[in-house]
Amino acid sequence: MRLRNKPGAMDRIKQFPNLVIDKPEALKGLWKKQFNNYNPINIEIGTGRGDFIVGMAKLHPQVNFIGIEKYTSVIIDAMEKVIEEGLTNIVFLNKDADKLTEYFEKNEVGRVYLNFSDPWPKSRHHKRRLTHKNFLDKYKLIMPDNGEVHFKTDNVNLFEFSLQSLSEENFILQNISLDLHNSGIKNNVMTEYERKFSEKGQKIMRLEAKLK
């Protein structure tokens, strides 16, 4: 992702403290109260400019969504989309997902979405992949026993790695597609990267993984 520093982005974000939550650790175990309902809570890690999570929040008003993105220069675009749409079932964390377990309690998150996560091709960087065992262990600590990870990518190596890693970590793999856009899937909400890669003719791969 090309990241340009956006002057004033942080000041703009600070104007919406209920939309981009500054201290999520203070809400650990209290997210239902924050949303003011008992609807399920799904998160996306690496939200980027927010096309996916904002689209999902529009499509599923009975679900609460939390988008986590470490770069201010892109999450600000996601925030502006929510302000424009007037959605109330979505918030953002401008944080690194490394600290997920400080923000959520066991059973608090039903599903984790990972879309076009950074591939980290060098072996010594595999630990940074969002489907590495180290991250899967964190997801298990915030999800219920039947929690799910949904993953989309255009990167074959990352997809193979993720199939292996998820199956080794006790997830049941289901609804695997090696060519999502020709799979007959309904209600697929596209991400920015998905649109860009599929316009270039690249195949999009997708899987769902459910905890045993």
Ligand X SMILES: C[S@@+](CC[C@H](N)C(=O)[O-])C[C@H]1O[C@@H](n2cnc3c(N)ncnc32)[C@H](O)[C@@H]1O
Which residues in this chain contact ligand X in the complex, by CB under 6 A? 1, 45-46, 48, 68-71, 74, 96-98, 115-118, 191-194
| Nearer CB in complex with ligand X: 69/169 | 69
Q: How far is the CB of 194 from ligand X (least distance, A)?
A: 6
Q: Which of 22, 96, 98, 118 is catalytic?
A: 118
CB of 184 to ligand X, least distance (A): 22
* Nearest to ligand X of 24, 46 (CB atom): 46
- The residues that bridge with 208 in the sheet, in sequence order, are 150, 174
Residue 38 CB, nearest approach to ligand X (Å): 27
Tell me the two tokens of residue 108.
């608090």
Please state, in angstroms and rounded to a whole number, the distance separating the CA atoms of residues 162 and 203: 17
Distance CA 207, CA 119 (A): 16
Cβ-closest position to ligand X? 46
- H or E stretch covering 73: helix 72-85
For the chain, give the number of residues: 212
Does the annotation mark 179 as catalytic? no
Choice between 37 and 200, CB closer to ligand X: 200
Instruction: Show the tokens assigned to 11.
Output: 């000041």
Q: How many helices and strands, by DSSP H and E, does the chain display? A: 8, 7
Shortest distance (Å) from residue 153 CB to ligand X: 9
CB 83 within 8 A of CB 19: yes
Q: Judge contact between 20 and 75, C-beta under 8 A.
A: yes
Nearer to ligand X, 14 or 99 (CB): 99
CA atoms of 108 and 35, how far apart (whole Å) = 12
* Cα gap 106→4, rounded to integer Å: 36
Nearer to ligand X, 77 or 108 (CB): 77
Q: How far is the CB of 101 from ligand X (least distance, A)?
A: 13
Residue numbers annotated as active site: 118
